[in-house]
Amino acid sequence: MLNGEIIAVTSGKGGVGKSTVSVNLALSLARLGKNVALIDLDIYGFSVPKILNLTSKPKTMNGKIIPVESHGVKVMSMGFLVKGNDPIVWRGPMLGKIVENFVKDVLWGELDYAILDLPPGTGDVALDLHHFIPQSKEIIVTTPHPTATHVAERAGTMALKTKHDILGVIENMSYFIPPASEEKFFLFGKGGGDQLATDLHTEVIARLPIEPPREGSATPSVFEQGSELYNHYMKLAEKVDQLSKQQNLADAKL
């Protein structure tokens, strides 16, 4: 059964780097010494196994699923259950069953954090999440571009209407600093994350720059020590841990 602090990472639209954020946040929390699960709930667009370069499959024991482990994180994804890169061609009720299975039928052990990589938008999986895991908190990922923030606002509004706490907004692809330069280039504009946070009555908890992937790496979207984004993700993990504890204390006083 899923336990611990459950944080859903969501966005209004695809292409904003939500899955990359989910993976690196989970890994950074594990580096802080936390017991962490990472659940890829983007059923149609699963990408976590590819990001982590995972080829092994989960095993079963007494009818329960044993998650795959990577970088000290327990991982579950629809990508483990399909052949190759076959598409998922399912209607809504099947999506809910997978969400329920990942929550109830996986041997997660004792967790400090469970990071859920949600599909973009406000469809069936988001609704099922709010049904099966009503205690989850949410992080909204956007780029600074006005179109991305406009659509992301809908995902945040859904969280608020379903009584979910929003931990904050992550502005991904916030800027780019070329090698051997200190000048920032705002390729997708400026201020979008701040406006989204204002609209959702929360705060921007990270501004993540664009960083070219490491050449020849098997996991180019996993940012290791020595990269600029590694430092950003470690600060993000510390911020998320701090905010989660603060919100839990506030909830306990109500």
| DSSP calls for 170-183 | EETT--B--TT---
- In angstroms, the CA 179 to CA 187 distance is 16
Q: Taking the CB of residue 147, how many other CB atoms lie within 10 A of it? A: 14
- In angstroms, the CA 169 to CA 10 distance is 10
pLDDT in tens, the chain (254 residues): 889 999 999 998 888 999 999 999 999 999 999 999 999 988 777 899 999 999 888 999 998 999 999 999 999 998 887 766 655 545 556 666 778 888 889 999 999 999 999 888 655 666 666 667 777 899 999 999 999 999 999 989 988 888 888 999 999 999 999 988 999 999 999 999 999 999 999 999 999 999 988 877 889 999 999 899 999 999 999 999 999 988 777 777 76
Whose tokens are 């990589």? That residue is 117
Give the torsion sign (CA, 236, 190, 117, 218).
negative
Query: What is the pLDDT at residue 102?
Result: 86
Kindly report the CATH number that applies to the domain delimited by 5-253. 3.40.50.300
Query: What is the pLDDT at residue 86?
Result: 53
Go through the chain and tell me how many residues it has: 254
